[in-house]
Amino acid sequence: MAVSPLARPTSRVSTRVAFLLAPVVATGVLVAGMAGVLPVLVSLAVGVGIAAVFATGVLWHTALAIHHDEQVFAACRGAGMIGVAALLTAVTCGVLALDDPAADWFVSAGVAGVATFFVLGTMLLPGAASTVAVRLRRMFDGLGLGISLGFAAYLVTTMRETPYAALACTLCAATGISMVTVIVLRARLHRPAALRCGAGAIVLMIALSTVANFVLSDIGGWGISLCGLVIVAGLTLTAEGGSRRHLPERITPREPDQYLSSYPLLAVPAGVGVVAALYHLIFVGDFDTVGVVLGILMVAVLTMRELLVVSDIRSYTGQLATKEAHFRSLVAGATDLTLVLDDKLTVRWQSPAAARLFGLADSEVIGRTFLDLIHPEDVRGAQAGIEALLAGEHGDGPPALLTARLCDGHGVWRDTESTVADQRSVPEVAALVVHVRDVGERRHLERTLHKLSYTDQLTGLANRRALMRDLLEFRRRAGQQGTLLVIDLHGLAEINDTRGRETGDAVLIEVARRVRALIGPDDVPARLGGDEFAVLTTDGAVLAYALATRIVTAVVEPYQLPGTIVELHTSIGLAELSGGKDSDEVVRHADLARSRAFQLGKDRVEWYDTDVEIQLHRRMDLERELLGAPDRGELDLVFQPVLNLTDDQPVGVEALLRWRHPTLGTILPAELLPIARAVGCAAELDEWVLEAACRHLASWSTGDTDFWLSVNIAPRELLTARFPDHVAEILTRYGIAPDRLVIDVQETWIAEDVPAIVAALSGLRKLGVRAALDDFGAGQASLAHLRRLPVDILKLDQSLISQQLPHPTTPAVIDVVVSLGRRLGLQIVAKGLETSDQIDRARRAGCHFGQGFKLGRPAPAERMEAYLETHRG
């Protein structure tokens, strides 16, 4: 919607009024605290809170405007993070107002958070830093100075027994101040605004650290309110300076940001640390443990930055060496032999290509005349051409062209053509320059057709035809043992599609190089075609398996190509040469083992045996028959109870899928679900499980509306737009209250797409359906995800229950997780309880519910209904 021109001045006026009004109100509150009208700490919390809310609003408004209008994402994040720092400032002052000794370390954490977000925010503002490498260098510069200042502050304050929480505030503030100082002083755009924003952040952190030290050291008085005024001023400056948003279309750096070796920033922190250490040594004497640790940390950071400086110097040196190498490579790789002659036609220098092209060493050429190298029959014509050039008969025309036979280093006369240029007038050369090239017939251009027919043209390895020939020869040798490895690459098609076939070919060449570097001199590497390789080795079973493992390790290493880095995965199958009746069968056995390795997962090695073929046929049969299993009535559900650990009464059940195959028996989810994902019917299975489980729940006469049912849902089904409507339809059809249904989400899925998972679970929560994070602790999900995910139940993996403590006094991970979950209002379910000790441990940790074989095994619907009626009654 367009904005009226008359509305813009009004908006500007209201913004200016806000810039004046909020700080004025905050200042009035703080002055009231100084006058005794309000308690000092209360006035501090209220005054700073008003100013912080104002600053946060301004900065977040700027961040949203940048994000939507200009698409400057880094600047958007910078303003937003500074706003978070302002908000954390208010929270920290609010914690200080509690004046509770138990909250001392929360104050330290608040100061650390303020410093962290100020550093990140100022670094991401327009013009502060262009690349990640530049940001890291500036952080190191500020970190070295900050740790040195913190080290000095600690050594000075140890004489008056400052509380450790106050010391932590000082260290965090000193580090943040140093980093922000380096960042804003190096800003290339909006420099005045950057200085104002940085000055506000620095003033704020100094005042906040001072207030924290006062309160934590039980020092009161008007000084706290005075520091509050300084914090309000810092917030105002930060909001005003951090609200810049416009960037030029093209940024030209004033200096190479990636190299910081010319800046003498190392001397400042080193000098501060040395002076503080000497002062402490003179007036105090010995150093305590904290002082030693801080000193070591200071030296480590300064050493790291010194290493970065050395890296810069090496980079400069490398550039010079590279340019020199380029020149040498141009000369050495030239197709012409270059000679430099003096006035007497004596050879003074020859190019390195002489040895490569003509086999001529420097000792054989330098010091001899050019005519001595020419065939006696051609000397007269060559001498006449050179004399004509020296006499100036050519003028400004082209160089003299000589045709003569030249004797190479092997005594063979070769037909050459030479151009002679008179460079005597050029001071840097002052000589005759001769370029000699071989113009004889290329007698050695014949290619061996036999070799071409047995070589892969891209990689230089043997092709399939050569491999089958060598395999036949290996098998003919009496008593010859050996193994065939078939190597399949995964991900090459995606590389060809996304990055082009040139990149894919470069990857194949590198794979061939890595494989060739691992094998023995008698082994035969081959490319069978496409993304399939093979190795024919004379090694037995043990050594061949070790070789295959090394090949897997080498192949999965990232491929650093010009302008990109790509990764591959592989599967390797092995078959003994004596295990097949002919060469074709050996290849088939190895390929079957390779297929089995691929089915079991990426980067695996599998041997061929009869069981491999059986498993492959089983897998193919299951894939073929799974699509019709629901219609044939072969799918079934079992239910495992979830018990309240307080009174051992069932509170819910979990539905578990079973495939009752008529010939292969019961197929468990561990085998069934990967096959369903492979054939693309996982979503249909999830729908069947959900509806069947709800139908059974509706038919049970538990008499308890709080009894719930949990169902596992795969990400593909969960993230579909129709899933919430499908759930609502099933609940309505069977008359089940929404809060009795719990949708289980595997922890390992969370990292795939956290925002999408959050949105899907939020849609279910609107229906009243609850969600559970299943198998928590088995994957790599962060505890921070718990705050973002709209889940109601946290199901702990058995590994957390069974974890052995390294020391009796060390808190168990389960205790930390349960404590956090309870704080977030989550119900905790301990899974996999198989022993009484595990049940007792879950109870002690504070878990609400338990699930496992010790409490109740999975059972069909009829037996579970009887079980529930017995126990619920």
Please state the three-class secondary structure of 231-257 as a single string: HHHHHHHHHHHHCCCCCCCCCCCCCCC
Tokens of 279: 């002062």
Asked whether 125 and 186 are in contact (CB, 8 A), the reply is: no
Beta bridge partners of 711: 655, 743
CB 740 within 8 A of CB 719: no
Residue type, 359: G
Greatest Cα pair distance, the chain, in angstroms, is 123
| 718 neighbors 683 (Cβ within 8 angstroms) | no
- Here the tokens at position 39 are 């308690």
| Per-residue pLDDT at 777 | 75
How many CA atoms lie less than 13 Å away from 415 in the CB half-sphere? Answer: 5
Rounded-to-integer distance, Cα 700 and Cα 793, Å:
23
Cα–Cα distance between 180 and 212 in angstroms, integer?
A: 20
pLDDT for res 711:
92
Query: What pLDDT is stored for residue 448 in this prediction?
Result: 60
- Cα torsion 343, 345, 350, 354 to 10°: value is 160
Q: Which of 680, 642, 713 is nearest to 868 (CA)?
A: 642
Report the top-level CATH class of 627-872.
alpha beta
H-helix or E-strand containing 763? helix 754-767
The C-alpha atoms of residue 648 and residue 405 are separated, in whole angstroms, by 103
Determine the Cα–Cα distance for residues 466 and 114; give it in Å rounded to an integer.
67
Q: Are 553 and 449 in contact (CB under 8 A)?
A: no
Residue 168 identity: A
Please name the fold of domain 452-608.
Answer: Alpha-Beta Plaits (3.30.70)
What's the burial of 652, exposed, middle or buried (CB within 10 Å: 0-12/13-18/19+)?
buried
pTM of the model: 0.41
Separation CA 394–CA 419 (nearest Å)? 13
Burial class (CB in 10 A: 0-12, 13-18, 19+), 808: exposed
Point out which residues pair with 801 in neighbouring strands.
none
Angle (CA) 490-494-497 rounded to 5° is 150
Interatomic CA distance for residues 204 and 116, integer angstroms: 13
Cα separation, 296 vs 302, in Å, equals: 10
Backbone angles phi, psi at 799, to 5 degrees: -65, -30
State which amino acid sits at residue 270.
Answer: A
What are the helix and strand counts (H, E) for the chain? 31, 22
Which parts of the chain sit beneath pLDDT 50?
1-13, 69-73, 159, 247-263, 394-395, 442-444, 446-447, 478, 807, 809-810
Residues 6+ apart with CB under 8 A from 789: 750, 754, 757, 758, 761, 771, 773
* Amino acid code (one letter) for 84: V
The CATH number for 337-438, chosen from 3.30.450.20, 3.60.140.10, 3.50.50.60, 3.40.1160.10, is 3.30.450.20
Q: Is 375 helix (H, G, I), strand (E, B) or coil?
A: coil
Which residues does 462 contact at the CB level (< 8 Å), separation at least 6? 454, 455, 456, 470, 524, 525, 526, 527
Tokens of residue 420, six digits: 């002679």
**Phi and psi at residue 470, to the nearest 5°:** -70, -35
Pairwise CA distance, residues 29 & 231, whole Å: 13
Q: ∠ CA(138), CA(144), CA(148), 5° rounding?
A: 150
Residues β-bridged to residue 564: 561
User: Roughly how many angstroms between the first and final C-alpha of the chain, as a whole number?
Assistant: 64
The CA-atom distances, in angstroms, between 286 and each of 147, 279, 290 are 20, 11, 12
Which residues, other chains included, contact 546 with Cβ-Cβ below 8 Å and sequence gap of 6+?
A: none
Q: How far, in Å, are 527, 582, 815, 820 from residue 841 at the CA level?
A: 56, 60, 10, 17
Residue ranges of E strands in 562-621: 564-566, 569-576, 604-607
CA–CA gap between residue 23 and residue 48 (Å, rounded): 9
Integer Cα distance of 304 and 312 in angstroms:
13
Strands (E), 713-763: 741-746
